[in-house]
Structure 1
Amino acid sequence: VNWPGIRTIVITCMIVGLTSEGATIQKGTLRISGAIVGGALGFLAILVVVPNMESIASLALLVAAGTAIAAWVYVGSPRISYAGAQIALAFYICVIQGFEPSWYFYTIRDRMVGILLGNAVITLVFLSVWPVRAGDAIWTGLASALRAMAELARVGSRSDDQTAVARAIAGLRAAASRHFAAAQQSAEEESFEWSVRETGAAQVARSEPKASEDQTARDRFRVADGEARAIFVMQLAVANQRPNVLPPELPDVLVAATRGFDALVAENLDAIADRAQASAPGELPDLRSPLEGLTRTARAEVSRISNPEVAHQVEGRLAAYRELVPRLERLGSAVVSRGLVRLAPLVLAGCMAYSPLANAPPSADKPWRGSDLQRVASDLGSDVHSEPERVAIDTQKNYELGELIDLAQRTNPETRAAWEQVRQAALAAGIAQATYYPKLAAVATAAIASVPLPIPETVVPGGVFRAKTHFVVPALSLEWLLLDFGRRGAAVDGARALTAEANADFNAKHQEVVFGVTRDFYALSAARGKRNASQAAYDSARTLAEAVAARKDRGLATRPELLQAEEEEAKGAYELADATAAESDARMALLETVGIGPSTPIEIADVSQRPLPPELSESIDGAVDRALAQRPDLLALLAEVQAKRAAVSGARADYWPRLAARGEVGGNIGELAIEHSPYQSVNEEQYSVGLRFEWDLFQGFERRNKVQLAQSQQREAENELTHAREKTVRQVWKAYNDAKVALAKQSAAAALLAASEKSWSATLESYQHGLATFPDVRESQHSLAQARALEQASRAEAWTRAAAFAVSTGDLAQP
């Protein structure tokens, strides 16, 4: 084959061969794509422009136009700038073939073949002979950055010379930034790698650039990288504040405590770095307890600081530490040990005798215990398939409502499922936008044929002769839909509307989680209040029994009265046990809503004496307007209406034609021989360029029915939106009135409790002095127990109704 330009295979191997598989594939992809685009531009120029050129000026203008396109790509994103250089080079090779106009395509053919072969060779080398993965360098770079951050945390404890400290901070800042950039570059290169794994002696190679677990690892790196960079910025702020925060007049105890906490931060960063490199996947040091100790020390010593500015700076550093600790915990959760690699078994299914009914019950009269059910049951018993995100629980603190909501939003699987649905909708919108771009395909046809053909017997005895041929036809085809009268636009608008709907559903799911935690939190508060009321009622019943026993000893009470008092005491003990069980059930329900196990040792704050929510000061009209403008369910229905409108536009666009541009360039390489004659060879270029006009004139009224169906679905969605708006108004009114009534009921319950307590005290004292009867004091004790339970229930109801009002207006769904 006389293809002299194929020598570019050697240059391709030299240029594309970089430090890792990902970098090599990225560079090769840019080289191929640049050569294709430049070759296509050169091909079009030779086909359309070059035959009409008559002077050097026209050639200069052509070269300038191609150079401008290549330069626009080259000065764009650094990720694709190399493709611009390849576009220019391929274009120049096509257009400038000598000192006169040329119409040959073999130059770009040779270059494309050389580039493709060179990339194939170097890719096989990096996959089989010399595999170096960029993914291994991602966590190494992040670990190096974390170790630099650990040194940054220790820098103030090693020297009191502020000049030396400033130089050390600058050096560590540059080193950490360099490591962050290297890790990010490796992450970008890894997206181009082909995943290759080994299982025993077998290898399974996937040609797709990304697998699901690789995507999960890269997502985990993005989270870890973002948290690490945020911590790095906070460290720089604290470190640069050091000359003002640690003056000589600062108490030594506070200086020692601060440096000790900095050392713990450095130790935590080192441990996370070890996790990233899978060298020591151990537990991370606890920072919350030392932070609390530092806070107590600072508050005790800050009164000794005479300079108010310095005292304010100390408070600022404590605030920074309080922000730093949870970020370190999230960073530690994101960086999991990579020491254990999951091995994917290679399952070889034999093509022997196979019975599909082997996994089905043999008869209908008995239960089935097949091997597939046992395997599924084994998987169901394990916790490796749908394990929720692990969060650190501080057993020494009482969790408030906001902290429980934060835990629920991070651990609830429904919010994660809604998040994935939003991502799917966004990807679907990207797929719809892909129709605006041209389609480029490489096609090759190769065949060997021997065909008998009829011929008059006067020419060939027997009336048959045989033609033999073998040929290869490589081609590069391009198709671009130029005009479709709104079909693509309607599809993109519909996909974007569905993305907006998924986002609204995502916010609605978060609102459900927030309200669920709030409802169960105050239900637990009510259960605790009922248990406290039952305890108080039991104590009152016991006090009454003791009073009756004392009066009986003095001969002032009868035995039936004593037995009734003991009955009341036993009844109080039963109600106390029942209230305690109800409190335990309410706690389990709250933990289930949060998404943590019932055996988790977590302390939940008691808010039974917390002040009530404020009175609703806004008007009901303002609340209704706000609900109609921001409720996520209404936003989702509105997005659905917009999607249906886009579907109507798409259905109407089917009445109009389509116009597409098509082109193909290739070569015919082969030989043909007639029976008993020598082969005749051919090796010539071939190309075709044209427009394809398509207009469906009649389809059996299918398009009309599609339009009517889309319009009907649009009206359905609009009616559902109208109904939802009316329902929202009713819900806001009801929630508004319920919140006001709940506050009024709580005020009345508080007054009832105060009156019942006074009545009980007075009646009991009167009974002890013989001025009241036993039925009077027992009735007073019953009224007091009921008033206590009502007060606690009304307090929890007031908070729950306030949260329900926030749900009705959509306030809980706001980020």
Structure 2
Amino acid sequence: MPARFGEATLALPLGFPAASPLGNSATISLLFQRFEHGAALTALATVAGLALSLVATAVFLPIATTPAAIGAVSVMQSTLGSVGRRGLLRFVGTFIGAMMTFAAVSIFASGAQDLGSYLIIMSMMSFISAWVLVGSPRTSYIGFMMGPAFVIGIASESAAPSSIHLVVDRVLSVLLACACVSLVLLVVKLRSSRLAVMESIGDGWTLIAQLIRGGQLHEFTEADVHEFRTLNQRAMSNLAATAELREQHAFERTLRIESFLPILTMLAEQQRSLLLIRSLGSGRFHETLPPSAVSEMLDAPTRSLAAHFERLGEYFRVAERADESLPCQIPSAAQLRACAVANGCDANTVARLLYRREVLGLVEQAVVRAQRDAQRGFIWKDQMLYCANEVTDSGRTVAEVAATLSPSTT
């Protein structure tokens, strides 16, 4: 076996790749192939909000020390949806922090700089820390905005009126930034983060289907090794991106924490499947391939599992049932051992084949479990896919909800 096919070449990372998602061979043509319209639209909206905020700051706040443009960029860091809500939460947090600063500075200005004043300040800081620690993503974001507004005013060495002016300036800057971003959003419509989450989950299952096909026990070339490594990197990057989108989804609308359970379940199953499929690729590229008659006993159920994953990915794009009835037909250990011995495989090869069979069994359990959870945790309604709890009233089961859906979606 050539050295270039050794372990160093196949050190597949569990996180982001060291270079680009396409390895070290990124070109201009590949850049355009991976061009994302949504990301480009968001970048355009961010630049427009930044420019508008700079102009508005010069016109309305000529002596401002914290330009509203900074707030505009911070608000529009979210790549999809939830920008308006994030801006509102940013303003609320800054306003609360300003009120706390006003109270603290007033106490200090009155000359009451004793132990009681110190305890008041520490209590306020503890309150902010607790808010961030135990709050939901939305309330924690408010706490993050309260902290800077409070610390800026308290840490200022200026007199009390100047400190208050500094905090008021920050509140006005954030308010102006939110107004500028809102004007931009009237023209540029960003895609909903909920839609992006569903599409990203579907893309993840499709990438896993392609990856498991690359783990079949066939003869391979260096191009096959590079393709498998690239698919693994893309799948892991997509998994991380889905987790980030789930955080953005928390800002988009008011949801109970259990509403995110189906999404978290899909992420867990994808991570589990990727770890198992990595071992299949290692068995193909690192070990001696068995005779074709033996490898086909395991490649046939591998292709069936790939079909399962593809159907699962389609469920998140079109209102189609994630069918669990596709047969995998994984051979028994006795059948596989008998076939391997009959074709001249040694004891080490037989042991590796039996291990591979166990991995396929675990992958089958994972995909069937994911298909079942997808049907229970996600509901198609009016040609849109929702988490089941998004369309439920508290206390109702998914079966009770399904009975209330329109006939066209049941």
**TM-score interval for Structure 1 and Structure 2 normalised by the shorter chain:** 0.5 to 0.7
Aligned partner of 1:302: which letter?
A
Given that 2:152 and 2:167 are in contact with CA atoms closer than 8 Å, whether structure 1 keeps it comes out as: no
Task: Say yes or no: does 1:302 pair with 2:340.
Answer: yes
State the match for 2:21 in structure 1: none
Once the two structures are superposed, what CA deviation does each residue of 1:63-101 show, in whole Å capped at 9, x if it has no partner?
xx99x989989x999x76896577335532565375x56
Q: What TM-score, normalized by structure 1, do the two folds share?
A: 0.33
- Offset at residue 290 of structure 1 (A): 2.4
CA separation of 1:313 and 1:134: change in aligned 2, threshold 3 A: same
CA–CA distance in 2 between the matches of 1:140 and 1:35?
34
The counterpart of 2:247, out of the listed 173, 180, 188, is 188
CA separation of 1:117 and 1:170: change in aligned 2, threshold 3 A: same
State the match for 1:221 in structure 2: 263
Once the two structures are superposed, what CA deviation does each residue of 1:160-188 show, in whole Å capped at 9, x if it has no partner?
34765554443222211110111111111
State the match for 2:288 in structure 1: 247
Taking the TM superposition and a 5 Å limit, the aligned residue runs for 1:70-469 are 84=144, 87-88=147-148, 91-93=151-153, 96=156, 98=158, 102=161, 105-116=164-175, 118-119=177-178, 122=181, 126=185, 130-157=189-216, 160-161=219-220, 165-194=224-253, 209-210=254-255, 216=259, 218-243=260-285, 247-248=288-289, 250-278=290-318, 281=320, 284=323, 286-292=325-331, 297-304=335-342, 305-336=344-375, 340-341=381-382, 384=403
Given that 1:43 and 1:94 are in contact with CA atoms closer than 8 Å, whether structure 2 keeps it comes out as: no
Given that 1:6 and 1:113 are in contact with CA atoms closer than 8 Å, whether structure 2 keeps it comes out as: no
CA separation of 1:81 and 1:340: change in aligned 2, threshold 3 A: closer
Unmatched runs of 5 consecutive residues or more in structure 2:
1-59, 385-398, 406-410
CA separation of 1:6 and 1:166: change in aligned 2, threshold 3 A: same
- Offset at residue 313 of structure 1 (A): 1.8
Taking the TM superposition and a 5 Å limit, the aligned residue runs for 1:549-560 are none
What CA RMSD, in Å, does the superposition of the two structures yield over aligned residues? 4.6
Greater fraction helix = 2
- Offset at residue 137 of structure 1 (A): 0.7
CA separation of 1:266 and 1:281: change in aligned 2, threshold 3 A: same
Aligned partner of 2:261: which letter?
D
CA–CA distance in 2 between the matches of 1:288 and 1:270?
14
- Offset at residue 301 of structure 1 (A): 0.7
- Offset at residue 142 of structure 1 (A): 1.5
- Offset at residue 154 of structure 1 (A): 1.6
The structure showing larger relative contact order (alpha-carbon pairs under 8 Å, at least 6 residues apart) is: 2
Taking the TM superposition and a 5 Å limit, the aligned residue runs for 1:752-763 are none
CA separation of 1:38 and 1:69: change in aligned 2, threshold 3 A: farther
CA separation of 1:5 and 1:283: change in aligned 2, threshold 3 A: closer
Aligned partner of 1:301: which letter?
C
CA–CA distance in 2 between the matches of 1:130 and 1:110?
30
Unmatched runs of 5 consecutive residues or more in structure 1:
55-60, 195-208, 344-379, 387-815
* Secondary structure of 2:219 counterpart: coil
* Secondary structure of 2:252 counterpart: coil
CA separation of 1:96 and 1:142: change in aligned 2, threshold 3 A: same
Aligned partner of 1:328: which letter?
V
Taking the TM superposition and a 5 Å limit, the aligned residue runs for 1:492-641 are none
CA–CA distance in 2 between the matches of 1:180 and 1:131?
22
CA–CA distance in 2 between the matches of 1:27 and 1:152?
40
State the match for 1:458 in structure 2: none
CA–CA distance in 1 between the matches of 2:379 and 2:238?
19
CA–CA distance in 2 between the matches of 1:219 and 1:302?
43
Taking the TM superposition and a 5 Å limit, the aligned residue runs for 1:652-691 are none
Given that 2:304 and 2:327 are in contact with CA atoms closer than 8 Å, whether structure 1 keeps it comes out as: no
CA–CA distance in 1 between the matches of 2:314 and 2:154?
54
Given that 1:36 and 1:112 are in contact with CA atoms closer than 8 Å, whether structure 2 keeps it comes out as: yes
- Offset at residue 138 of structure 1 (A): 0.6
Once the two structures are superposed, what CA deviation does each residue of 1:292-328 show, in whole Å capped at 9, x if it has no partner?
4x76751431333542222122111112222221221
Aligned partner of 1:87: which letter?
G
* Secondary structure of 1:242 counterpart: helix
State the match for 1:16 in structure 2: 75
- Offset at residue 381 of structure 1 (A): 12
Once the two structures are superposed, what CA deviation does each residue of 1:767-808 show, in whole Å capped at 9, x if it has no partner?
xxxxxxxxxxxxxxxxxxxxxxxxxxxxxxxxxxxxxxxxxx
Given that 2:302 and 2:328 are in contact with CA atoms closer than 8 Å, whether structure 1 keeps it comes out as: no
Given that 1:93 and 1:107 are in contact with CA atoms closer than 8 Å, whether structure 2 keeps it comes out as: yes
CA–CA distance in 2 between the matches of 1:191 and 1:38?
23
Once the two structures are superposed, what CA deviation does each residue of 1:755-775 show, in whole Å capped at 9, x if it has no partner?
xxxxxxxxxxxxxxxxxxxxx
**Aligned residues with identical type, % of pairs:** 13
State the match for 1:554 in structure 2: none
- Offset at residue 134 of structure 1 (A): 0.4
CA–CA distance in 2 between the matches of 1:289 and 1:168?
25
CA–CA distance in 1 between the matches of 2:341 and 2:288?
16
- Offset at residue 150 of structure 1 (A): 1.5
Aligned partner of 2:306: which letter?
A
CA separation of 1:105 and 1:90: change in aligned 2, threshold 3 A: same
- Offset at residue 126 of structure 1 (A): 4.6
CA–CA distance in 2 between the matches of 1:91 and 1:301?
72
Once the two structures are superposed, what CA deviation does each residue of 1:721-772 show, in whole Å capped at 9, x if it has no partner?
xxxxxxxxxxxxxxxxxxxxxxxxxxxxxxxxxxxxxxxxxxxxxxxxxxxx
Once the two structures are superposed, what CA deviation does each residue of 1:539-583 show, in whole Å capped at 9, x if it has no partner?
xxxxxxxxxxxxxxxxxxxxxxxxxxxxxxxxxxxxxxxxxxxxx
Larger Rg: 1
CA separation of 1:234 and 1:34: change in aligned 2, threshold 3 A: same
Given that 1:39 and 1:91 are in contact with CA atoms closer than 8 Å, whether structure 2 keeps it comes out as: no
Once the two structures are superposed, what CA deviation does each residue of 1:265-307 show, in whole Å capped at 9, x if it has no partner?
22221221111122x7256474545224x76751431333542
Given that 1:46 and 1:95 are in contact with CA atoms closer than 8 Å, whether structure 2 keeps it comes out as: no
State the match for 1:518 in structure 2: none
Aligned partner of 2:374: which letter?
V
* Secondary structure of 1:291 counterpart: coil
Aligned partner of 1:39: which letter?
A
State the match for 1:572 in structure 2: none
